[in-house]
Chain A
């Protein structure tokens, strides 16, 4: 658990947050520029002096009430910024060694010969594993000035991990990269997430990064926390600014069930049922995230017959919100909303729940005219037709 209760006043800007972030997974700090997400991250790292308290688990990094303050270099954290900030006078290998040596880790794993390296006592992962994870072994003898932007960023991440941090702070690590480089790094971040038991606080203003990486989401606005909670829960809330964006939609945690190569489709199952998606490279059994945009969901009162839409889920209408002339519907997926096997809605059966993220919900954006024609009321049993699902 990460505790950050911080206040900072600057000219024209106040930061006042009281946050508890989970001690595992990726927590995204999301918001428009100027909302204070970078300042908050810097204050957690001790690079910025804010008033309050910062603690990682039982370890207190700052507590003004106790007059306690650990300078940045005594906090067991890793920090990665947009510009990478590699040391230009050192080779890639020496950049990696810089933090590793100072964190008191054994240097025996410093080579990259592979071989049998015993699990390090000070961290759950060895430098070899980190070099492997980020695919930077061929870069070790190079100078930072000869690296591409994407390579630099991977080295910066490895350099931070080489200190065996207990918390990784990332400040828009992909913002300086073009779409292609971004696509090159994202899989590495996903591996990081999947393979290391290391909590990450990730600052970004890019929704696609949030949807793809985050487990926990903190929405910041003008130095304050607008909302914080599990990603799926927050993305399905029509009252938050996320829902007012064009690419508003939910993220479903799913698992690949089977491929239908004949039709070029894959079936993924989630707590609320199953969905057909365009064929994915992920193997059956693998965890995936499915993003369903509100504008791709429509609703019917009767189970649609003879429709071209592959994915139809039984849902219950929870709420209706007006948004810029359209209606935003919040739908709760009924248990077993799987196409073909849906139980008759409205019978009061339990709704689908994801053990990690609570009830499974969808957002649907429809016109006000449709809403009036269907005379929609909260509590109505409906069928959601999902026109598009993007796997991430």
Chain B
């Protein structure tokens, strides 16, 4: 692999890691709120979170570009803060990736939280555990498989991101030129051997990650003699 390819791999790994961590931080409370919400607006919130699944990435990227650009409200805000503009920067990619991969983190977490019976949380309350205590000592540990799925899917999905990156990140080596873009470049330049190397790496990566996930999360058989 060329040094440029290695830079792209490293950049992709960094982007996916930062995105996943941010998503867990933002997505966990969001998933908890959605799982416990009885609000009539719940379908709307769920739909908003799920939007990136159905929207073409270029649409998401286009609007992000407008929002974060010099004339957009977000762009003006970041400039006012002295942060400059987000498009065509690593930070801009992180913002785009967080939105783009949001459903892949929130949905498994939400399902895991929803699977926890209300009575288990109530039992914790009757054992003197307050709301935060219940969340950290009962809800989170019981949602562990969902947490793992969310992290892996969030990471893997960010690695595979292309359309959004192209729209808001462009192709700056070391800043926004991630793996998928690098592959695109190789193909454009008819460097099929290079494209193959990177593509095959990604295929193996995806397979290994998903197999590992299914192995770790496979339903455990109850111990012998256990009651149903």
* Residues in A lying within 8 Å of B, measured CB to CB: 45, 47, 71-74, 77-79, 81, 83, 85-89, 98-99, 102-103, 143, 145-149, 152, 159-160, 163
Measured CA separation A143–B227 after assembly (Å): 12
The proximity string for B residues 120-136 relative to A, scoring 1 for CB distances below 8 Å and 0 otherwise, is: 10111111111001000
Q: What's the dominant secondary structure at chain B's contact region?
A: helix
Measured CA separation A83–B228 after assembly (Å): 12
Interface-located stretch among B80-88, B170-178, B218-226: B218-226
Measured CA separation A89–B123 after assembly (Å): 14
| 29 A–B pairs (Cβ distance < 8 Å), ordered by A | A47-B122, A47-B126, A72-B125, A73-B124, A73-B125, A73-B126, A73-B129, A73-B130, A78-B126, A79-B123, A81-B123, A83-B117, A85-B120, A85-B123, A87-B124, A87-B138, A88-B120, A98-B129, A98-B137, A99-B127, A102-B129, A102-B133, A145-B226, A146-B222, A146-B225, A147-B227, A152-B227, A163-B127, A163-B128
- Decide: A85 and B128 in contact? CB cutoff 8 A: no
Whether a CB of chain A sits under 8 angstroms from the CB of B142 is: yes
**Nearest A residue to B141, CB-CB:** A89
Sorted nearest first, the 6 A-B pairs with minimum C-beta distance are A99-B127, A79-B126, A102-B128, A85-B123, A72-B125, A85-B119
Q: What's the dominant secondary structure at chain A's contact region?
A: mixed
Measured CA separation A142–B223 after assembly (Å): 11
**Nearest A residue to B225, CB-CB:** A146
- Write out the residue numbers on chain B whose beta carbons fall within 8 Å of the beta carbon of A98: 124, 127, 129, 137
Measured CA separation A160–B226 after assembly (Å): 23
Measured CA separation A147–B228 after assembly (Å): 9
Measured CA separation A72–B127 after assembly (Å): 9
The proximity string for B residues 137-158 relative to A, scoring 1 for CB distances below 8 Å and 0 otherwise, is: 1100110100000000000000
- Decide: B126 and A77 in contact? CB cutoff 8 A: yes
- Write out the residue numbers on chain B whose beta carbons fall within 8 Å of the beta carbon of A159: 127
- Decide: A146 and B223 in contact? CB cutoff 8 A: yes
- Write out the residue numbers on chain A whose beta carbons fall within 8 Å of the beta carbon of B142: 87-89
Measured CA separation A74–B126 after assembly (Å): 8
Residues in B191-228 with C-beta less than 8 Å from chain A = 222-223, 225-227
Closest CB of chain A to B155's CB: distance in Å? 24
Known: A85-B122, A98-B137, A102-B128. 6 other contacts (CB 8 A): A73-B127, A79-B123, A89-B144, A102-B129, A143-B223, A148-B227
- Decide: A99 and B222 in contact? CB cutoff 8 A: no
**Nearest B residue to A165, CB-CB:** B126
Closest CB of chain B to A124's CB: distance in Å? 18
- Decide: A87 and B130 in contact? CB cutoff 8 A: no
Closest CB of chain A to B148's CB: distance in Å? 14
- Decide: B223 and A85 in contact? CB cutoff 8 A: no
Closest CB of chain A to B115's CB: distance in Å? 11
Measured CA separation A146–B223 after assembly (Å): 6
- Write out the residue numbers on chain B whose beta carbons fall within 8 Å of the beta carbon of A45: 126
Measured CA separation A99–B123 after assembly (Å): 10
Measured CA separation A351–B90 after assembly (Å): 93
Measured CA separation A72–B129 after assembly (Å): 9
- Write out the residue numbers on chain A whose beta carbons fall within 8 Å of the beta carbon of B222: 145-146
Range, interface on chain B: 20 to 34
Measured CA separation A72–B138 after assembly (Å): 16
Measured CA separation A72–B128 after assembly (Å): 7
Known contacts A73-B125, A85-B117; is-contact A145 B141 (Cβ 8 Å): no
Partner pick for A145 among B133, B144, B223, CB 8 A cutoff: B223
Closest CB of chain A to B121's CB: distance in Å? 9
Looking at A78, A85, A149, the one whose CB has the most chain B CB atoms below 10 A away is: A85
Known contacts A85-B119, A85-B120; is-contact A72 B227 (Cβ 8 Å): no
Measured CA separation A89–B141 after assembly (Å): 7
Measured CA separation A86–B119 after assembly (Å): 10
Looking at A47, A78, A87, the one whose CB has the most chain B CB atoms below 10 A away is: A87
Measured CA separation A73–B227 after assembly (Å): 30
- Decide: A160 and B126 in contact? CB cutoff 8 A: yes
- Decide: A87 and B123 in contact? CB cutoff 8 A: yes
Closest CB of chain A to B126's CB: distance in Å? 4
Looking at B127, B137, B138, B142, the one whose CB has the most chain A CB atoms below 10 A away is: B127
Closest CB of chain A to B142's CB: distance in Å? 6
**Nearest A residue to B227, CB-CB:** A148
- Write out the residue numbers on chain B whose beta carbons fall within 8 Å of the beta carbon of A149: 227
The proximity string for B residues 9-39 relative to A, scoring 1 for CB distances below 8 Å and 0 otherwise, is: 0000000000000000000000000000000
Partner pick for B130 among A71, A83, A147, CB 8 A cutoff: A71
Measured CA separation A159–B125 after assembly (Å): 13
- Write out the residue numbers on chain B whose beta carbons fall within 8 Å of the beta carbon of A74: 128
**Nearest B residue to A42, CB-CB:** B122
Measured CA separation A72–B120 after assembly (Å): 14
Measured CA separation A149–B228 after assembly (Å): 9
Measured CA separation A173–B91 after assembly (Å): 56
Measured CA separation A47–B129 after assembly (Å): 13
Measured CA separation A79–B46 after assembly (Å): 34
Partner pick for B122 among A72, A87, A88, A145, CB 8 A cutoff: A72
- Decide: A81 and B227 in contact? CB cutoff 8 A: no
- Write out the residue numbers on chain B whose beta carbons fall within 8 Å of the beta carbon of A148: 227
The proximity string for B residues 167-189 relative to A, scoring 1 for CB distances below 8 Å and 0 otherwise, is: 00000000000000000000000
Closest CB of chain A to B199's CB: distance in Å? 41
- Write out the residue numbers on chain A whose beta carbons fall within 8 Å of the beta carbon of B120: 85, 87-88
**Nearest B residue to A162, CB-CB:** B127
- Write out the residue numbers on chain B whose beta carbons fall within 8 Å of the beta carbon of A77: 126
